[in-house]
Amino acid sequence: MYLALSILFSSLIFVVFKLYAKYRVQTIYAIIINYFIACIVGLLYYKEPINVYDIPQKSWFWGSLLLGLLFILIFNLMAATSQKLGVSVASVATKMSLTIPVLFGVFFYREVLSILEILGIILALLAVYFTSLKENKIKAEKWAFALPVLVFLGSGIIDTSIKYFQDAHMPEEEYALFSATVFASAGIFGLFFIGYKSTQQRLKINFKNIIGGICLGVPNYFSIYFLLKALQHPTWNSASVFTINNVAIVMFSTLLGILLFKERLSILNWFGIGLAIFSIILVAFGPKIMMYL
């Protein structure tokens, strides 16, 4: 249930981004507002009394600040990748980064994967590629092709860090507070960005950006919160959780694009969706299947 909710809210993020273009919302400003909205949701969701002076004493505090900085940096890199090379390239780079937390789980936590789970992860990577594939040829400067590599590494580091802090530094009751602190950090770094930009051009209050930030902030918070909850599942390892999460987001957001925005898919895109479903079955039920073989 927690994994399904994380997939749902993460997919809604892509829907909101799609609506930004339709309603001419300025993405960077809405993103910064979204981080503060997500922080507020986290604080409201936190059931314990909050003492601001106690938060810096938490073992995960400094890590949450660095994660907030990474959120802003990777977002800007994703935006640049989308503009220079296309949305599909940014999507592939982001979701294929699941290999980093998977490898981290195998080597750092000594997680054991069955043959079917390994096959499922390989098929998952292929599914992400084929689902995001577009027929348009890419024309860009040579340096631009370094952008998806940076997005791949950064996204993988974010997922790996979330798993590490969830496992080593956080009791379950602090998930909401940790998530709120990460988003607050990202928002504060975003304000520095706005402050710098205001020295170059005058900023105007745009209510579309505010509404866009609110609509993004709520699902953004719950996508992280429920991912943390899913990672504590007693029988699934982190490799299974990250693989199913990332592949299902690509698949579900693609289907939402068809239903809500009448997007058209090629034969290869449909092949990718089929691979995604098959890979999820292998990763989720691989160990049980192996028991009967």
Give the chain's domain count. 1
In a domain, 166, yes or no: yes
Strongest mean pLDDT among 5-9, 108-112, 164-168, 261-265 = 5-9
Torsion angle of C-alpha atoms 25, 27, 31, 34, degrees rounded to 10 = 10
The label of the residue with tokens 């809210």 reads: 9
Least confident of 33-42, 111-120, 210-219: 111-120
pLDDT surpassing 60 at residue 34: yes
In a domain, 124, yes or no: no
Note the pLDDT tens digit of each residue in 128-160.
888 877 656 556 566 777 888 898 899 999 999
In a domain, 26, yes or no: yes
In a domain, 262, yes or no: no
User: What range defines the domain where residue 177 resides?
Assistant: 2-113+138-234
Please report, rounded to a whole number, the percentage of residues in the chain having pLDDT higher than 70: 94
In a domain, 259, yes or no: no
Specify whether the CB–CB gap between 67 and 185 falls below 8 A: yes
In a domain, 154, yes or no: yes
In a domain, 102, yes or no: yes
In a domain, 282, yes or no: no
- pTM comes to 0.85
Residue 134's pLDDT is: 66
- Which position has the higher pLDDT, 80 or 74? 74
Mean pLDDT rounded to a whole number for the chain: 86
- Which position has the higher pLDDT, 54 or 202? 54
b/e sequence 16-27, b meaning 16+ C-beta within 10 Å: bbbebeeeebeb
